[in-house]
Structure 1
Amino acid sequence: MTIRFLEGKTALVTGGSRGIGAGIVRSLAEAGAHVTFTYASASAAADALVGELAGRGLRARAVRVDSADDKALVAAVAETAGQSGSLDIFVSSAGLLVHAPLAETSVDDYDRLFAVNVRAVFVGAKAAASFMGEGGSIISIGSISAERAGVEGAALYCSSKGAVQSMTRGLARDLGPRGITVNNVQPGPITTDMTEGYAEMLVPMIPVGRLGKPEEVGALVAFLAGPNARYINGASIDIDGGFIA
């Protein structure tokens, strides 16, 4: 039986329709939070997730937002907070992956990747913090790529996740005095669209012998948003089965 330690809390998750984001939405809802999540294009997946959770008596709704659109993201934060008068949990899960050799990447690739992976984290956190009080929680989904590239062609993605890691420390300093914690979860290889076709190569490099599950990342996010994690602030926490140990 799941303990509903987030009962009565309002949460917004960006990029929540699939993969890790959907795992986070499920975990927050199971812990009792009323979850709004954004999606950019996967409307069928978003509708299916809302229906699945509703069928289990859990609360979630989906809104279409491109995280690279600053105004749309700020509006989604304000609208979510307006439903209950406050916002308790904000999770930046939306992300893009550009994986290509340096010679094949462009400034446009850089701009789009950083707009979603970095600027949206800043824009969303700033907007969310304006509606948060004591006990608020801001969580970003980074990557172990902030610590180790591991493969060729990862320069843009790694640098974006490194920026999120550094931003987390700065935001934690800014918002901690208000009772708002800011943390960064750094998944390793997780069973998602991004790792499809790579499991055979990755699993032998993971000490626990398998890929992670989206719900395992979700459980960590829910814990960080909960009452027993209030002294965790400014942390970047790897969840990778020991992949970079």
Structure 2
Amino acid sequence: MSGKDTSDTRPTLVLTGASRGIGHATVKRFSAAGWRVITCSRQAFSDKCPWPMGPEDHIQVDLSDAENLGFAIQEIRKRLEANGSQLKALVNNAGISPKGAEGERLNSINTTMHAWRTVFQVNFFAPIMLGRGLFEELKSAGGSVVNVTSIAGMHVHPFAGTAYATSKAALAALTREMAADFGPHGIRVNAIAPGEIDTSILSPGTEKLVEDIPLRRLGLPDEVADTIYYLCSEQSSYVTGSEIHINGGQHV
């Protein structure tokens, strides 16, 4: 027996929805700062992802399947325990917003109940399941949770559907409740509410919205990732229960 220490002293982030856009930028931001990142998404790990240890630290999980998510949580715990990693952050970034057959916005009249349930499972129930399932690991590390809400949770949006918007509004309320419940255990819980961010999933017509944004431009995924990093760092050590708007002033 060599007695060699195999523990991983890097702070660890668990991130859902890592495969594109904000999630992709967040992995790169934390990796560059020396964090270990355990990514979770519906897709298998791609060789195109530009960060080290990707395949070994990726978990393919369908957040719309509560049982599958339960298995994923156990797998995350095993991976953390295997090399003594400290879970310093959980970022609930994954979200879905189904469209109609022609790509149209689904409203409160024409959204099917199945779609409502699926959207809430991914956008709302998955974050609390992950927070509760990884509670002890977060508590041990004095970690942080960041929930990704949306500007659509604050007012009717021309593209985001009703189920998406209400699930994000519910997630904002859940963030406050989690901050109150997790805070006494040394865990901070905050949210970010992005507006129109320049990613591959922008809806046609988004460029028209820019005219009403005070900063007159789309946001960048890197700008969102920087805010997430701030909320997971010691720079925000007395910030909890907050929702930061990242939308160039669009909400005003």
2:78 maps to a residue whose letter is E
Q: Distance in 2 between matches of 1:139 and 1:97?
A: 20
Q: Secondary structure at the match of 1:103?
A: coil
- Aligned residue in 2 for 1:199: 206
1:216 maps to a residue whose letter is E
Q: Distance in 1 between matches of 2:81 and 2:109?
A: 46
Q: TM-score, normalised by structure 2?
A: 0.85
8 Å Cα contact 1:101/1:152 also seen in 2 = no
Determine which of 8, 12, 15 is the counterpart of 2:14: 12
8 Å Cα contact 1:77/1:124 also seen in 2 = no
Q: Distance in 2 between matches of 1:67 and 1:234?
A: 24
Is 1:216 equivalent to 2:216 in the alignment?
no
8 Å Cα contact 1:36/1:80 also seen in 2 = no
Q: Distance in 1 between matches of 2:34 and 2:153?
A: 31
- Aligned residue in 1 for 2:150: 143
8 Å Cα contact 2:97/2:160 also seen in 1 = no
Gaps of 5+ in 2: 1-8, 99-104
1:67 maps to a residue whose letter is L
Q: Distance in 1 between matches of 2:56 and 2:35?
A: 9
Q: Name the Cα RMSD after superposition.
A: 2.2
Q: TM-score, normalised by structure 1?
A: 0.87
What pairs up with 1:160-239 in 2 under 5 angstroms? 160-239=167-246
Post-superposition offset of 1:152: 7.1
Post-superposition offset of 1:58: 9.6
2:58 maps to a residue whose letter is A
Post-superposition offset of 1:17: 1.0
> When the two structures are aligned, how many residues end up with a matched partner?
233
**In the superposition, relative to structure 1, how do residues 33 and 190 fare at CA in structure 2: closer, same or farther (>3 Å)?**
same
CA offset digits 1:100-157 (Å, max 9, x no partner): 1333210000010001000001101111222122531111111111111233773211
Post-superposition offset of 1:203: 1.5
1:53 maps to a residue whose letter is W
Q: Distance in 2 between matches of 1:152 and 1:24?
A: 24
Gaps of 5+ in 1: 1-6
